[in-house]
C-alpha cells in the first residue's frame, strides 16, 4: 500500500472513530419548553372512541405523537392526588407518600387532606374567608421532575397551573417558581405562600379582567351537530347529574330557581362552583397558562423551562354524567378544540420545534353501574349508608362472638382503623387481630378483598390478585390497618347518581401516555408501560440527571431489578429516541 493510501486509510479510520465518539457524547439540544398536560380522569378509550371526531390538539397528539396504548397506573388508589404525584415524581404512592386525596391518620383517626398546610397561607386576588386553610406540598415525600430541572438549571422556570389545588401543587413539587389553581369561591387563580408572597402583576391583571364572569348567563350547550353524538348513549338518563337535570343545555341555576329566572341572579360563589364543573374551566385554565407563558418568558432562553397543566373538567363531567354520556363526549370535543388553540399559541410564541409535549391522566373512571347492568355486566351501586350498615352488622357479629361491647372498628369504609383494646382482651397480637377482623369483613357483599397492613408492608409471602398494586399504594405511617377493595364494577356512593374512581381495575388505571416532539417519531406502541415512567422519560429528553435512588425505589415496588431498570431508564426511552 502506498504512502498516499495509508494516509487516506488513517483519515477514514480517525473520522469513523470521531463520528462514533460524537454520536455517543453529543446529544441533540434539549427542548426549550416541556409541557406536561394531565387531563383529570381521562380514560385511554376517549382517544380510540372519538379519534375520528377530533380535529384539534388531541388529534395532533394522537396522529403525530408516540402513543403508548397500554399504559396503566400501577398502584391501587387511583385518585387525583396520588395520580399526579406519581406522574411527576417517577415513584409510587408507597414512596412519595400521597396515598389518597384524603386519608385518616392511623393515630388520631382524623382526616388529612393531601395538600393542606396551615403554615402556607393562600395568596389570593380578593378577600376570602379567614378559615381557608393554606396549601403546600409538605406531605409529598419525593422531589418532582421540576425539582430535578431546577437542581441542574437554577435559571429554569417551573410553573404549574391547574383547576384543582392538589393537581397544581403535587405536579409542581417543592422548588417550582409558582403553582396556581382555580378558586371556585371567587373565579380567580390563586396560589400559596409556599411559592409566592404575592400574585405577580400579570396574574393580578388576569384576575382583575374577570375572565370567568364572561360565562355568566351562558349555558353549556352541545358544540357539534346532533348526529355527532352517536358514539354516546341517549341524553336523558336518570342516573346522571342530579337525577333531574340530565339533558342539554346545562345552565347555572341556584338551588331554588328555575331556568327562566336564573338570568335575574347576580354572580356569586355558587356560579363559580358550577363553572368549575363545566368544560369552561379548562378554557380558563389554558387562557391563564397563555398569560404565564408570555409573562414568565417560558421557552425564551437556553435554560429549559417546564409548564405543568392540570385540566379538571373531564373529571367533574365524568363524575356527574359518566364516561358514556353525551356530556363527556362534548367536553372532550371542546378540550380538543381548546388544546388546538393552545398549541397554535405555543407555536407562535415559543415555536413547537423547540417544545416537547406530554399528555397523560391521573386516573380513569367507572361507567355508571346502571349503564353497565343494562349491557350485561355484574355491577351495582350501593349507597354509603347501606354499605356502612352492612359493615356495622358484621361488627356486631364479631362483638357477640368475642363477648365485648367495645367498638372494634374506628371507621367503616375506605381505610379501616381498629380499636386494639378488644385485641388486648382476647389476648391477640395486633397482627393476629387485624387478620381476624379482615377475615370477617371479606364476607361483605360488595367487597372483593380486604388487605391487612401486615400483608401490604411485607415484600414477599403468598401473593394474590392485586396485592402488588395495593402494596404500591401503602405507606406504613399513613395507610390504615385494613384496606378495602370493592368488587369490579361496584360503586359505593353518597348519591343515587353519578360515578367515581379509586380502584385497581383497568377502567381506573388505563390512561393515555403520549409524547410529542418534532424529534420523536409518530408511532403507536402496544406493549405494557406504566405512568411512573413519564417523569424519568421526560427527564431523559431534557438531559437531566435522575435521582440516584429512583430506580432502586421503583425496583422495591416491582421485584426484578433488571426488569425495572429497563422500564425506568430504557424501554420508553429507546422507543421515542430523538431522530
Residues assigned a catalytic role:
80
What is the spatial distance between Cα 357 and Cα 223, in angstroms, rounded to a whole number?
26
What is the Cα–Cα distance from 59 to 332, expressed in whole angstroms?
Answer: 11
Four-CA torsion 543, 160, 42, 79, nearest 10 degrees: 100
Are 234 and 247 spatial neighbours (Cβ–Cβ below 8 Å)?
Answer: no
Cα–Cα distance, 375 to 323 (Å, whole number): 14
Measured distance CA(291)–CA(224) in Å, rounded: 28
Residue pointed to by grid coordinates 438549571? 153
Q: What residue has cell string 421540576? A: 146
Listed as own residue / partner, the contacts of 227-235 with beta carbons closer than 8 Å and 24 or more positions apart are 228/53, 228/333, 229/326, 229/329, 229/330, 231/49, 231/50, 231/53, 231/329, 232/324, 232/325, 232/326, 232/328, 232/329, 233/324, 233/325, 233/326, 233/371, 234/326, 235/326
Q: Indicate the length of the chain as a whole number.
A: 579
CA-based nearest residue to 288, from 259, 310, 260: 310
Are 163 and 180 contacting, i.e. CB atoms less than 8 angstroms apart?
no
Quote the Cα angle for 259-261-264, to 5°.
125
Distance of alpha carbon 352 from alpha carbon 371, whole angstroms: 41
Report yes or no: 63 and 148 within 8 Å, Cβ to Cβ: no
Closest CA to 455 of 478, 421, 497, 483: 483
Q: Which residue is associated with the grid cell 365485648?
A: 404
First CA to last CA across the chain, in angstroms?
A: 39
Prior bond to 249 cis, omega within 30? yes
10 Å CB burial of residue 454 (0-12, 13-18, 19+) is middle
CA–CA gap between residue 288 and residue 123 (Å, rounded): 16
Q: Is the dihedral of CA 236, 242, 243, 244 positive or negative?
A: negative
Q: Which phi and psi (to 5°) does residue 194 adopt?
A: -60, -35
Q: Encode burial over 272-281: b for 16+ CB neighbours within 10 A, e otherwise.
A: bebbbbbbbb
- 180 by Cβ neighbours in 10 Å (0-12 / 13-18 / 19+) ranks as buried
Side-chain-side CA neighbours of 101 within 13 Å: the count stands at 12
Copy the grid coordinates of residue 505: 381495575
Amino acid at each position: 500500500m502506498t504512502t498516499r493510501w495509508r494516509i487516506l486509510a488513517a483519515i477514514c479510520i480517525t473520522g469513523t472513530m470521531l463520528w462514533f465518539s460524537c454520536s455517543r457524547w453529543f446529544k441533540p439540544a434539549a427542548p426549550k419548553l416541556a409541557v406536561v398536560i394531565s387531563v383529570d380522569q381521562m380514560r385511554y378509550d376517549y382517544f380510540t372512541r372519538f379519534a375520528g371526531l377530533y380535529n384539534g390538539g388531541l388529534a395532533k397528539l394522537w396522529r403525530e405523537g408516540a402513543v403508548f396504548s397500554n399504559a396503566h397506573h400501577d398502584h391501587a388508589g387511583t385518585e387525583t392526588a396520588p395520580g399526579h404525584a406519581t406522574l411527576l415524581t417517577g415513584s409510587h404512592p408507597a414512596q412519595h407518600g400521597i396515598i389518597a386525596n384524603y386519608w385518616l391518620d392511623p393515630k388520631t383517626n382524623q382526616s388529612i387532606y393531601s395538600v393542606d398546610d396551615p403554615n402556607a397561607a393562600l395568596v389570593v386576588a380578593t378577600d376570602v374567608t379567614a378559615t381557608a386553610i393554606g396549601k403546600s406540598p409538605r406531605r409529598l415525600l419525593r422531589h418532582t421532575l421540576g425539582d430535578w430541572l431546577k437542581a441542574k438549571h437554577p435559571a429554569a422556570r417551573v410553573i404549574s397551573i391547574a383547576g384543582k389545588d392538589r393537581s397544581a401543587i403535587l405536579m409542581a413539587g417543592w422548588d417550582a417558581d409558582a403553582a396556581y389553581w382555580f378558586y371556585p369561591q371567587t373565579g380567580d387563580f390563586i396560589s400559596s405562600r409556599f411559592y409566592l408572597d404575592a400574585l405577580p402583576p400579570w396574574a393580578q391583571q388576569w384576575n382583575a379582567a374577570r375572565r370567568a364572569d364572561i360565562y355568566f348567563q351562558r349555558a353549556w350547550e352541545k358544540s357539534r351537530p346532533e348526529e355527532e353524538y352517536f358514539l354516546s348513549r341517549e341524553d336523558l338518563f336518570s342516573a346522571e347529574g342530579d337525577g333531574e337535570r340530565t339533558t342539554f343545555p346545562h345552565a347555572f341555576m341556584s338551588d331554588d330557581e328555575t331556568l327562566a329566572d336564573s338570568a335575574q341572579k347576580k354572580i356569586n360563589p355558587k356560579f363559580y362552583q358550577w363553572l368549575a364543573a363545566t368544560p369552561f374551566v379548562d378554557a380558563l385554565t389554558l387562557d391563564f397558562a397563555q398569560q404565564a407563558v408570555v409573562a414568565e418568558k417560558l421557552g425564551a432562553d437556553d435554560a429549559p423551562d417546564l409548564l405543568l397543566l392540570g385540566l379538571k373538567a373531564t373529571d367533574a363531567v365524568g363524575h356527574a354524567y359518566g364516561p358514556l354520556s353525551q356530556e363527556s363526549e362534548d367536553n372532550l370535543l371542546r378540550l380538543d378544540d381548546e388544546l388546538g388553540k393552545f398549541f397554535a399559541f405555543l407555536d407562535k410564541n415559543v415555536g413547537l420545534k423547540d417544545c416537547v409535549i406530554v399528555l397523560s391522566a391521573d386516573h380513569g373512571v367507572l361507567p355508571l353501574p346502571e349503564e353497565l347492568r343494562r349491557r350485561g355486566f355484574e355491577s351495582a351501586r350501593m349507597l354509603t349508608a347501606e354499605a356502612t350498615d352492612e359493615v356495622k352488622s358484621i361488627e356486631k357479629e364479631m362483638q357477640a362472638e368475642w363477648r365485648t361491647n367495645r367498638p372494634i372498628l374506628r371507621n367503616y369504609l375506605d381505610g379501616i382503623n381498629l380499636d386494639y383494646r378488644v385485641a388486648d382482651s382476647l389476648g391477640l397480637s395486633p397482627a393476629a387481630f387485624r387478620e381476624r377482623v379482615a377475615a370477617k369483613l371479606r364476607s361483605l357483599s360488595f367487597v372483593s378483598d380486604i388487605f391487612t397492613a401486615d400483608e401490604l408492608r411485607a415484600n414477599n409471602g403468598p401473593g394474590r390478585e392485586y396485592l402488588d398494586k395495593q402494596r404500591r399504594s401503602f405507606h406504613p405511617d399513613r395507610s390504615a390497618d385494613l384496606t378495602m377493595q370493592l368488587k369490579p364494577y361496584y360503586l359505593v356512593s353518597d348519591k343515587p347518581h353519578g360515578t367515581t374512581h379509586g380502584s385497581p381495575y383497568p377502567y381506573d388505571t388505563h390512561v393515555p401516555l403520549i409524547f410529542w416532539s418534532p424529534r420523536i417519531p409518530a408511532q403507536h406502541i402496544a406493549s405494557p408501560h406504566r405512568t411512573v415512567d413519564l417523569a424519568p422519560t421526560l427527564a431523559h429528553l431534557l438531559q437531566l440527571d435522575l435521582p440516584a435512588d429512583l430506580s432502586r425505589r421503583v425496583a422495591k415496588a416491582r421485584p426484578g431489578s433488571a426488569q425495572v431498570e429497563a422500564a425506568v431508564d430504557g424501554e420508553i426511552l429507546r422507543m421515542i429516541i430523538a431522530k
